[in-house]
Amino acid sequence: MKLYIQADEMVKRMFDSRYEMTDSIHDTDVKIIVVVRSNEQDPQTINYLIRETEGMVPFVVLTGEEDDIGVRYLEVSKLAGVPEDFILTGTEWRMSKIKEVIEKLLKDPALPDPKVFMDYVQPINQTSTNEAYREIAITTEQVEPIQTELNVVTENQIISVLGFNGGVGLSTVSASLSAFYHARGLNSRLIDLSKHGESSIHFDTEKSEGIHSSEYGDIAITKQNAEVINEALNTPANVIVVDLPNQNQHFKQMIELSSKVIVVLNPSESDYNKLKEHVDLLDMSKVVIVMNKADATKPLRHSFITLVEQDFNNPIIVIEDSDEVASSYAERKPAHLRYPFDVSIAELASQLEID
């Protein structure tokens, strides 16, 4: 287990004697990101880090003194969807409290749930040379991947699962659906098109590139390598489920190749608006909508489910928020084995009508 610490060097040394740390945000062993307020660091760094980790790593944010900078750190953290239990305010930080919060996150990971979608790309003028600062200064134009066409000649049935914001439950839904088909005797394969192969945790497999076997079916970890993607798509299977991040270079082609497309949303204004913005990119006749992390006790969040039902004529599967999902994640198992996720995934599969 490693921590990635975004902080001044002096603060980093406080953690260094207690935890194994890494200087790379792309280290696949990073389990928690800790952001400590710094006057030399833009609070929008939080959004950059969430984008780079695709919302798949929990955050702890220490906002510091309640001045203008501290207030801004607090605002950005909340809008980025960092749970309030993991935003530590004020200046009376105690390592015992931070350790308690970190241990809580390790036991029950709580991922960011952005309230407003932010794609932070503007460079920051910093004198520091650590990796995070250097990477923030790279614009999306500079790092845009080369657009390459996939060479797909298969008759496999392909289902793409996508989300527009990090932390919506994209990998949880796609892994559970693929495992559901495998449990019913189909030759299923989950293809992870993310940068780091985070879906592997649901099947308890390694993150190395290639097709791996597991008790829940095959999983292809591609790390966006076109050769691995082509092999995974063309190798015979009854059904292929693709975990498709929104910023993937093959996004458009995968939508065209898919017989069905699942759009995973959280009941939030951000996700609702993003769906409306992306309608023209989707063949809505293929789309099934999953409203994940619903909570009937929160009327505002539930109202967005009603809006989606009113504005779109697509099938909608509502999945209630549950601690059982977090438990399955901690046990490195697909969530389809846990109630109420099992019922919802079965309902989703019935809408997809895969033979």
Instruction: Encode pLDDT of 304-347 as tens digits.
Output: 899 999 999 999 999 988 877 777 877 888 888 888 888 999 99
Measured distance CA(57)–CA(83) in Å, rounded: 13
**Per-residue confidence (pLDDT) for residue 225, from 0 to 100:** 93
pLDDT digits (tens, 9 = 90+) for 136-165: 333 333 334 444 689 998 889 999 999 987
**Per-residue confidence (pLDDT) for residue 30, from 0 to 100:** 87
Class of domain 157-352: alpha beta
Task: Give the CA angle between residues 178, 183, 189 to the nearest 5°.
Answer: 30
**Per-residue confidence (pLDDT) for residue 275, from 0 to 100:** 93
The pLDDT > 90 percentage for the chain reads 41
- Max CA-CA distance within the chain? 61
**Per-residue confidence (pLDDT) for residue 93, from 0 to 100:** 66
Asked if 328 contacts 335 with a C-beta cutoff of 8 angstroms, the reply is yes
pLDDT digits (tens, 9 = 90+) for 84-141: 889 998 765 677 788 888 888 888 888 887 755 444 443 333 333 334 333 333 333 3
Classify 316 as helix, strand or coil. Answer: strand
pLDDT digits (tens, 9 = 90+) for 14-73: 787 788 888 888 887 888 999 999 877 888 889 888 878 877 889 999 998 888 888 889
Helices (H) and strands (E) in the chain, counts: 14, 13
In this chain, the answer to whether the domains covering 2-143 and 157-352 adopt an identical fold is yes
Q: Where are the domains of the chain?
A: 2-143, 157-352
Domain with residues 2-143, CATH architecture: 3-Layer(aba) Sandwich (3.40)
Classify 127 as helix, strand or coil. Answer: coil
**Per-residue confidence (pLDDT) for residue 118, from 0 to 100:** 47
Which stretch of 74-88, 144-158, 221-235 has the lowest confidence by average pLDDT? 144-158
